[in-house]
Structure 1
């Protein structure tokens, strides 16, 4: 058994002297974040005036995501020369302190909806840099041949949060309340901060890479590279096209299928299980062409999403959404490894932070598109339209990368 485990691409990652100490902290904090996806909206419902609940739920959800894009630009000059461990650690400290202030204010009776949204927004200001630092640390510690497996291990931990986090949150909310869930999430970030502080050796934390000149260096580097720009556009389009699904699926279940909340939860559980399996699979794809694999992921996602919009069966929908999760699983790992290979380590953190800032806007933009799309096409039609859009996007991306490759070959021959 142990011999078989040692033969997997993950063995060098999980036995790495630094990563074997950091990975449990990442896994714990991802579970906490998975719990907060439920608790943030539930606490907003609890503290908001009855006639304004929808507004404050939307503001709370946006506040936990969108400020990361602002922070990627606002703190670029101060953070772009820092090591991956520093960036990830500082984000964890920020999350722990500001999220921890929410249950404290709640217990003291001082948590108004405005203060709640402000604390959530401040807690997420460094989120793009924290994510960038996580993958930059992998690039700093792992050789190229283990990079994809390292990304996959981290993404398995992140995807598992969608499976384990919501049920744990529901249990704690039932026993204590949503503020307690956010307190647990803050505690997991505190553990993660301590992990980066103690597990990562001083020489890894002290790495201060040479910062590039000019503001928003990450955006500039992406803009100058057709390869990176194409990857960002592909990811952004993919996330925008998935946005209407998050709006249409609940309506499809409740109105078209006349289903229950439990049936809706079945869709997301199926997706989460598929995503975990897909993330595990990603580590075995290191010999595959990464660009083709990445584009193929979007194509397959669109193809397996089609039955969800075309079928009136809950069971077919569960299976289709589970397959969506399976095809999604490798996407974060393959796209990130393409950036890690294309960008020098000293420039990787600002580039990944810039990419994270752009992508953080994609899903909310897609959700906003979802409302008029559902009015025009119905919920089931919106699901089908998203699937067709993903298929079209993947074909355009394949054409772009094929033409770019031909241009590179022609340039090489002429030189």
Structure 2
């Protein structure tokens, strides 16, 4: 298990050297990641008219991520988290460099993009548990909501700066310029986290086998009514939201709004801006009634998502996406804060890995189902409307979950 050095304790969040380095590293790596994503999405739409391939791009990234997230959680608890983040961001930069080489050789095909998506999914499986379990090692318990909010700000700057910069670079420099910038930003992010000071503490549990560590994580989850309830809700929410929204918005922008890469960047920037605004609000205001905030926000998210499917105007859709993104933060940040406060730090990597594994478990199926419905001729807008209705239903049912009625943090 890792612990922070004594110099990073009992200081304000943004004056904490280690946390500030994590903060700065995220500012570079997260936008760089999204610059790559928007360019890869638009490149796929450009080189192939078959929208099934576009759905496969998401499926290829989600499958290895799903299969390896639990393993990534075990690795996060057994090895230095700083090193894991450095390796993950460095590998992403290397993958983009490989794509640049194929671009210069004029050899890029849909299968190159799909394979790279799978490699990014593997890197994600090891970085996600670390990212969501590192903050408690850098901050005091009463600073966690604020710290999580700041990290979410940096992560949500990515859908703002990433698509905006990516769209501009596509128009000015083309795909080579976009991928070059993304590669450099990920390298800077990787180098920044190397300066975080974490010390490794020796524990008897270090002798445990990885399989035993994984089993301990499963047993820990089974003993927590809150974690089980959250997994149940998020499992189905992700099915109705992730596939239709991720695949649907680029298709709607191109095929319904007859938009360009800049149009897609507008919608994705609205998503990032809304998420950042939600994170800012939670950085300055502490949540008291977690159950009410989480479930009411989820209910309204479902309504807004339904309206997005009905919208026929680009800017109206962008506004709805912005509002929805604000409220999604009022679901996500309180959940992670509760887990970081209540879960033993020696188990946090595994719990985060298992939580993300279960909550994203239906995402690959969601991508396949969405792509299949599109291939069968179902309008993507009807798919999104149906998904929004189901999210509303799930939120209403969740109000009656006994396990969530008395959700408090002592």
Does TM, normalized by the shorter one, top 0.5?
A: yes
- Contact (CA 8 Å) 1:149, 1:283: kept in 2 or not? yes
Q: Is contact 1:281–1:330 with CA below 8 Å preserved after alignment?
A: no
Superposed, 1:289-304 pairs within 5 Å as 289-304=289-304
Paired with 2:383 and 2:266, the residues of 1 have a C-alpha distance of 20
- The reply on whether 1:228 has 2:224 as its aligned counterpart is no
Deviation at 1:386, TM superposition (A): 2.3
Which residue does 1:387 correspond to in 2? 388
Partner of 2:39: 39
- Tell me: CA distance 1:87–1:258, structure 2 relative to 1, closer, same or farther (3 Å): closer
Partner residue in 2 for 1:308: 308
Output the CA distance in 2 between the equivalents of 1:160 and 1:304: 22
Residue 200 of structure 2, aligned match among 197, 202, 206? 206
Aligned to 1:7: none
5+ residue gaps, structure 1: 1-10, 409-415
1:310, 1:74 → 2: CA distance? Answer: 40
TM superposition shift of 1:24: 1.3
Aligned to 1:3: none
Tell me how far apart the structure 2 counterparts of residues 166 and 62 of structure 1 sit (CA, whole Å): 21
Aligned-residue offset at 1:348: 0.3
Per-residue CA shift, 1:191-211, capped at 9, x if unaligned?
2221121x212xx15346645
Quote the Cα distance in structure 2 between the aligned partners of 1:181 and 1:208: 44
Q: 5 Å matches for 1:47-126?
A: 54-74=51-71, 78-108=75-105, 113-126=110-123
In structure 2, the residue matched to 1:145 is 142
Alpha carbons of structure 1 residues 207 and 185: separation in structure 2 relative to 1, 3 Å: farther
How far apart are the structure 2 equivalents of 1:368 and 1:249?
A: 16
Residue 338 of structure 1: aligned partner: 338
Q: Say whether 1:350 aligns with 2:344.
A: no
Kept after mapping to 2: 8 A contact 1:235/1:359:
yes
| SS, match of residue 79 in structure 2 | coil
Contact 2:291–2:404 under 8 Å retained in 1: no
The CA RMSD measured in Å over matched residues stands at: 3.4
TM-score by length of 2: 0.81
Q: TM-score, normalised by structure 1?
A: 0.80
Q: Where do 5+ consecutive residues of structure 2 fail to align?
A: 1-10
Give 1:192's aligned residue. 189
Q: Hey, what does 1:165 align to over in structure 2?
A: 162
Secondary structure of residue in 2 paired with 1:283 = helix
| 1:21-60 superposed Cα distances (whole Å, 9 cap, x missing partner) | 22111111111112111111344456x6x57x54544444
The 10-residue stretch of structure 1 (307-316 or 144-153) with the greater mean CA deviation from structure 2: 307-316
Cα deviation for residue 346 of structure 1 reads 0.4
Counterpart for residue 5 of structure 1: none
1:402 Cα deviation from its structure 2 partner: 5.0
How far apart are residue 74 of structure 1 and its match? 4.8
CA 1:109–1:298: 2 relative to 1, 3 Å: same
**Partner residue, 1:242:** 241
CA contact (8 A) 2:29 2:190 kept: no
